[in-house]
Structure 1
Amino acid sequence: MSVNPAEIAQVRAFNRFYTKVIGLLEEGMHQSPYTLAEARVIYELGKRGHASSAIIAEGLDMDRGQMSRLVLRLVDQGVVAVLPRAGDRRMVPLALTPEGDAVYRRFNEMSDAAVANGLLEPLDTFGRRDLVGAMRRIEALLGEPDDTPLVLRPHRVGDIGWLIHRQGLLYHLEQGWNGEFETLITRIYAEYEAAPANPPKSLWIAEQDGEIAGSVFIIPAEESGTAQLRMLYTEPAFRGRGIGKRLVEEAVRFSRASGYRRIILWTQDCLVSARRIYQGAGFQLVREEKHRSFGTDLNGQYWALDLY
């Protein structure tokens, strides 16, 4: 996939802007005699307690030769100490000296103050929320999946609008669907909100590390004793982690516990990943129907799961 030159320019402009904002261009970290690379080593040792230079180099994605030179300088400065070997003689454990620990604590205090005073304090509540949310999204998109637990929670004020926006945009970019789809799901979510509490309904937001990772909801269908599963989706940055499967499992569990005898759903055969999740949960294809919607030709599929 080719990359838009304007997108490249925007990323580079952001990098220049952000390095200036957080002071990465200064000669010493927090006006200290230590470079950014040295400060990162000090921070890693302070956080871990002790570790070998190889482990720190791997954690920082740093060349081992560069790491060795950094460690030698920090040892000469009395900040890092080499501990006696234990077990594997190839792994030389390192730790901060009392002087190094004082530097680590001072860096932490100054970093917290820099973030509070330079980034967050000038912003109002909404600005801070947007800034932190944008940073979480960058980390989710570019970082490796972590072991932060997935939380399934009820929706809050603002979530419905977010879900409509994200799904309308994602299906447009991924499937080429036009504004008709956004109009349809706006009505679908409005129907969910307007539905009475009984027969039971529920909407689940999948959240990981404070970020919305996906959602689904159950609403009673027209046929008595039947629930309808609607609007399953997973954010691209969180795909491949079993979140869609977890959402469907929770929807099935809820429907069974609520006394529904059957669950139905409508999807399109081009949504392959979702269809696999439904099949894995035990849904059976009932019928198919070709139609033209959302600006394209589609093959609609009706699936059902008998609960009893």
Structure 2
Amino acid sequence: MNDSEAQRRAEAVRHFNRFYTQHIGALHEYLQKSVFSLTEARVLHELAHGHAQTAAALARNLGLDTGYLSRLLTSFERRNLLTRRPSESDARQSLLSLTDAGMTIWQPLDEAARAEVAAVLAQIPPDSQDWLIEAMQRIEWLLDPQQRHGTVSLRSPEAGEYGWLVHRQAQWFATEYDWDPSFEGMLARVVADFLRHRDPLRETGWVAEQAGTIVGSAMVVCVSTTVARVRLLYVEPEARHFGVGMQLLDECVRFATRAGYTKLTLWTTPFLHDAGRLCRRAGFVCAANTSEWRFGRDLRLEHWERDL
């Protein structure tokens, strides 16, 4: 990425930051017309929901200066909103919790904040609300590395998600490898054939989901009575090297075995090094290499297979 493109993207993020903070009223000094600043309200929120029990954890979670946080907590304590008790596991630490008075103060703030957000969402059609929330979850997932260490679950794609998978993979391969639109056409045909002719006992598909965000996909489709093929095997770049691809491929193997196939196949290209390593780890062997003109370039294709 050149400097001008990096600058353009940075300015786009800054523009969104300005828009969003103004939209939610984050530039107001106090929350919900109360005596509490936004930072104070966030600390109350963390304590009320048990997200952090020590000052060190609060400072880390909220990115606050420890000196500033210490003064804020002392103020809460003077107002009988906060109690401290020694930690049984570490005598140097105190466990923090809200008093009954603190909870009484916090609850109307929380309810008012929820009502304000609900009022904003009410102006948006339900389908667009879902789209907005999914976009917010993806932003969190992209910016918080800890979320990429969380649990990944596999589920059947919901309405519209097959189309999204085609879009995402076509977009990524075009950006990274300059593949032409014929790749998107191929993906669309694979999905269309699968949805139109699918035998539920012999064919299936999954999306991998982490923290509410789709991070990968895979399908098993029938080639013959004894052979199945893995299609649309994909993992988002930021989610790679965390076992998502292995989880998807293992599930493909399990399903194909239960469905009565004796062989599972897939194809990839040598420059997708992670894909080759993944195939070997899952017990596949490279059975053939060919060269073909595909997606606007001369590609070497690897045919991998595994006996079941």
Alignment partner of 2:256: what SS? Answer: helix
| Aligned length, in residue pairs | 305
Partners of 1:290 and 1:300 within 8 A in 2? yes
**Structure 2 match to 1:142:** 143
**Structure 2 match to 1:220:** 222
Partners of 2:52 and 2:58 within 8 A in 1? no
Identical residues among aligned pairs (%): 34
Change in 2 beyond 3 A, CA 1:84/1:206: closer
Partners of 1:50 and 1:96 within 8 A in 2? no
- 1:117-167 CA distances to partner (integer Å, 9 max, x unpaired)? 12x110011221111111011011111334754322222221221111111
CA separation in 2, counterparts of 1:27 and 1:236? Answer: 39
Change in 2 beyond 3 A, CA 1:75/1:10: same
> Unaligned stretches of 5+ in structure 2?
none
- 1:51-81 CA distances to partner (integer Å, 9 max, x unpaired)? 2211211221222112112112222333223
Partners of 2:141 and 2:211 within 8 A in 1? no
Q: CA deviation at 1:97?
A: 2.2
Change in 2 beyond 3 A, CA 1:32/1:272: same
**Structure 1 match to 2:23:** 21
Q: CA deviation at 1:278?
A: 0.9
Could you say what the CA RMSD is over the residues aligned between the two structures, in angstroms?
2.0
- Please say which of residues 234-243 and 255-264 is displaced more in the overlay: 234-243
Change in 2 beyond 3 A, CA 1:9/1:220: same
**Structure 2 match to 1:159:** 161
Q: What amino acid is aligned across from residue 306 of structure 1 in structure 2?
A: D
Q: CA deviation at 1:95?
A: 2.1
CA separation in 2, counterparts of 1:125 and 1:135? Answer: 15
**Structure 2 match to 1:68:** 70
CA separation in 1, counterparts of 2:215 and 2:51? Answer: 33
- Please say which of residues 170-179 and 133-142 is displaced more in the overlay: 170-179
Partners of 2:220 and 2:230 within 8 A in 1? yes
> What pairs up with 1:96-111 in 2 under 5 angstroms?
96-111=98-113
Q: What amino acid is aligned across from residue 254 of structure 1 in structure 2?
A: F
Q: CA deviation at 1:101?
A: 1.1
**Structure 1 match to 2:262:** 261
> What pairs up with 1:2-13 in 2 under 5 angstroms?
2=3, 4-13=6-15
Q: TM-score, normalised by structure 2?
A: 0.92
Q: CA deviation at 1:50?
A: 7.3
Partners of 1:38 and 1:74 within 8 A in 2? no
Alignment partner of 1:244: what SS? Answer: helix
> What pairs up with 1:1-308 in 2 under 5 angstroms?
1=1, 2=3, 4-48=6-50, 51-84=53-86, 86=88, 88-118=90-120, 120-146=121-147, 149-197=151-199, 200-222=202-224, 224-307=225-308
CA separation in 2, counterparts of 1:85 and 1:8? Answer: 43
- 1:101-128 CA distances to partner (integer Å, 9 max, x unpaired)? 112212211121111012x110011221
Q: CA deviation at 1:186?
A: 1.3
